[in-house]
Amino acid sequence: MANLVLLTDARGASIEVLPALALLSHRVRVLPASADLMVDPPSCDAVLLDARRDLAGARRLATLIRGGGTSSALLGIFTEGGLAALTTDWQLDDVLLESAGPAEVEARLRLALTRVETDEDDLVNKIVVGPLVIDEHAYSARVDGELLDLTYKEFELLKQLALHQGRVFTRAALLQEVWGYDYFGGTRTVDVHIRRLRAKLGAEHESFIGTVRNVGYRFVGPREGRTEHSTEPIHPA
C-alpha cells in the first residue's frame, strides 16, 4: 500500500479524476493543485497530478515539484487528447489516462515507485547541486541534463569544488588536491582551467564557480552564483 497525494481542483476528488483509485487499497490524500503547496510539500510515495483540464497550469506545477527536489514519484493524469501536449519538459515518471483501469494504475504506480528507488540508489555515487549532476563512477557531469565535454583535470577540478560547496580553495590547495604533489607547474594552471570550466558551464551557470579576490575559488551553487560571483583578471593561455 502506497501513500499517494492527488493534486487536483476537481470537486469530485479522486472518484472524478481517476475512478480506478477507488478500487485500490492505496491511501490517497487530495490536495488543491496550487504552487503554494510546494512551500511545504507533503510527504508521500507518489504525487498524482491532474492534467486533464489545465495543461499549462499542470505543466508549471510539475516543473515546480521537480524543482523542489522531491524524491516522490510524479505521475500525470491526462485525457487522451491531452497526451499531445506531453513532452520531456514535464519531467514525469509516468502518465495515466483518466480512463485507466485498476490493474493498469496499479502496474504503472509500481513501476514508477521502483524507478524512483533505483534512482535514489544511483545518487549514492553522484554529487547533485541544483541542475549540476556529477557522476563519479562514470566520470561525467551534466547541467540541466546536458553532458559537459570535460577533460579529466576539468572534471576533477569541478568535482573538488562542488563536493565542498562554499569552501574557499586557494590556487595552491587546488593544485595539491587535483594535480598532486608531483606537479611542478604554477598556480596559473588553475586559473586557465577555471576559465575553461566556466566557459563549458555556459553563460547561465558559469557563475557557479565564484572568485574570492586575492584568495582563490569556491563553488557557490545555483542560488548564490548570480549575485556573488566576482572576477579577477585571467591572462589567456
Residue 220 grid coordinates: 557557490
pLDDT digits (tens, 9 = 90+) for 112-125: 888 766 555 555 56
- For every residue of 64-96, DSSP letters joined together read HHHHTT--SEEEEEE-TGGGGG--GGG--SEEE
pLDDT band at 38 (very low <50, low <70, confident <90, very high): low
Quick one: pLDDT at residue 232? 41
Other Cβ atoms closer than 10 A to 51: 31
| pLDDT grade for 39, boundaries at 50, 70 and 90 | low
Q: What is the pLDDT of residues 157-209, one digit of tens each?
A: 999 999 898 899 999 999 988 988 666 677 889 999 999 999 999 998 999 99
Residue 66 pLDDT = 80
Mean pLDDT of 229-233: 37
Q: Find all residues with CB under 8 Å of 139, minimum gap 6, and list them.
A: 152, 155
Half-sphere exposure of 160 (CA within 13 A, CB side): 24
The stretch 221-225 carries a mean pLDDT of 55
Stretch (H or E) spanning 19: none
41 class by beta-carbon count within 10 Å (0-12 exposed, 13-18 middle, 19+ buried) = middle
Q: Where are the beta strands (DSSP E) in the chain?
A: 3-7, 27-31, 46-50, 73-78, 94-97, 126-129, 132-135, 140-143, 146-147, 169-170, 209-212, 216-219
Looking at 4-13, 142-151, 217-226, which range is the least confident one?
217-226
Mean pLDDT, residues 26-33 taken together: 91
The predicted model scores a pTM of: 0.53
